[in-house]
A = this chain, B = another copy of it.
Amino acid sequence: MPRPVWVLGAASNRFGKMAETGREAAARVSLEAIRRAGLEPKEIGYTFVSNAFGLAERQAHVGPLINTALGIPEVPSCTIESACSSSSAALHEAYVHVAGGFHDAALVVGVEKLSHLDTLTATSYFAIGADYPFESHNGATFPGLYATIANAHMHRYGTTSDQLGAVAVKNHANGALNPHAHFQKPISMETYRSSPVIASPLRLYDCCPFSDGAAALVVVAAEKYPNPVTEPVVIRASARAGSIADMHDRPELTGLPASQRAGAEAFRQARLVPAQVDFLEVHDCFTIAELVALEDLGFFPRGAAGPATAEGVTARDGKLPVNPSGGLKAKGHPVSATGASQVVEVFEQFNGLAGRRQVPKAEVALAHNVGATGSSASVHLFSRR
């Protein structure tokens, strides 16, 4: 039986543009997460870094640099990449190491810095997370690929542009209350409707931004930390799955099979059902992705997530708050920090640290992180003790 595992500390910087280097930001948020957990760096047994596009800073092998900065150079490390799901994959490794009894405490830190690149170069970095020769090389970069999903979903289920807009308006409203967020201003539906089309039907405000950012988690064996100084985030399930890499080879475009598999596996591990979840952080790289995630994870029947969002069900004060952090859409999407930052939000909500974006009930949460167009997905379920 796996040992019970907690996230005992978590920290994030403000997403957006970082003046410091990735390694500096990673060390800084790591130290903050370790301090929040009430640990000393020397208690860390393994460091899992995510930094998919480290080459953009001409730096690979960043674990030893971070550990050296933390004063624990002897600690082993490795870098975990799974495109936009890199740091949830890193959390999975940390969970396995700690649950399996190999270490009592592990550090997960995701970091990305791309803002010093021009947009075209940054886009080309992102694009290599898809199947480059078959998709990106032929012009099918992520806005186009997710637009295809949106078109299929609209055609099949009648999802509307205004329902996509409702996701954007909601997530910007949440981001406006999050000091970690890249975009901290609300938008109106009028702003959404008048924003330019990027890849039909997706408008500018359907797309998450390129962000710099860093987020860190301290993952521990519960039995070794009997007197936690924080409200621990209990990892009830840590599940990952894959799917056919190329969208053109998938039998169905209105859902992501990897999310469905990882979600089902997570609920099985946790012995929970969707109705027991108080709030979610889901992978809304584009607004359509949030709707598809809610349906893939069993929170709404097919085609029902759009209308529910328009009705306010997923608002911060709704029945099922989704992306109270602002999500990738407004909090931002520093690729390799995104998965860890979702868990930072869970930690802050569980610990009453979420300020004005605090959700009414924060006892069971789900985090959902996707790589590329869903060729990888991670689903974690968390509860308070």
Residues of A within 8 A of B (CB): 2, 21, 52, 54-55, 57-61, 63-65, 67-68, 73-83, 86, 89, 92-93, 96-97, 99-102, 124, 128-133, 136-137, 240-246, 249, 257-258, 261-262, 371-372, 375-376
Whether the pair B82, A61 counts as a contact (CB closer than 8 A) is: yes
Find chain B residues with CB under 8 A from A262 CB: 76
22 CB-based A-B contacts, threshold 8 Å:
A2-B100, A2-B102, A54-B128, A59-B128, A60-B81, A60-B128, A63-B242, A63-B376, A64-B371, A64-B372, A64-B376, A74-B261, A76-B240, A76-B262, A77-B82, A77-B376, A78-B89, A79-B82, A80-B80, A81-B81, A93-B96, A96-B100
Find chain B residues with CB under 8 A from A92 CB: 78
Find chain B residues with CB under 8 A from A74 CB: 241-243, 257-258, 261
Find chain B residues with CB under 8 A from A21 CB: 133
Find chain B residues with CB under 8 A from A60 CB: 52, 81, 83, 128-129
CB distance from A42 to the nearest CB of B (A): 13
Whether the pair A61, B97 counts as a contact (CB closer than 8 A) is: no
Whether the pair A64, B375 counts as a contact (CB closer than 8 A) is: yes
A67 to B242, CA, bound (A): 8
CB distance from A137 to the nearest CB of B (A): 8
Find chain B residues with CB under 8 A from A133 CB: 21, 59
Q: Which of B63, B80, B100 contacts A102 (CB 8 A)?
A: B100
A227 to B101, CA, bound (A): 28
Find chain B residues with CB under 8 A from A371 CB: 61, 64
Given A61-B129, A63-B376, A102-B100 in contact, is the A245-B82 Cβ separation under 8 Å? no
A80 to B61, CA, bound (A): 10
CB distance from A246 to the nearest CB of B (A): 8
Whether the pair A242, B102 counts as a contact (CB closer than 8 A) is: no
Q: Which of B81, B136, B249 contacts A78 (CB 8 A)?
A: B81
Whether the pair B68, A81 counts as a contact (CB closer than 8 A) is: no
Find chain B residues with CB under 8 A from A77 CB: 82, 242, 376
List the B residue with the shortest CB-CB distance to A97.
Answer: B96
Find chain B residues with CB under 8 A from A244 CB: 64, 68, 73
Whether the pair B372, A243 counts as a contact (CB closer than 8 A) is: no
A28 to B348, CA, bound (A): 46
Best-buried of A76, A131, A136, A376 by chain B (most CB within 10 Å):
A76
Find chain B residues with CB under 8 A from A82 CB: 61, 63, 77-79
Considering the complex of A and B, which 5 residue pairs feature the smallest CB-CB distances, nearest first?
A100-B100, A64-B375, A76-B240, A61-B83, A79-B81
A2 to B57, CA, bound (A): 39
Find chain B residues with CB under 8 A from A55 CB: 55, 128
Whether the pair A78, B79 counts as a contact (CB closer than 8 A) is: no
A290 to B262, CA, bound (A): 44
Find chain B residues with CB under 8 A from A128 CB: 54-55, 58-61
CB distance from A88 to the nearest CB of B (A): 10
A130 to B61, CA, bound (A): 7
Find chain B residues with CB under 8 A from A100 CB: 2, 96-97, 99-102
A376 to B258, CA, bound (A): 33
A80 to B244, CA, bound (A): 21
A250 to B374, CA, bound (A): 43
Best-buried of A57, A136, A375 by chain B (most CB within 10 Å):
A375
A58 to B132, CA, bound (A): 7
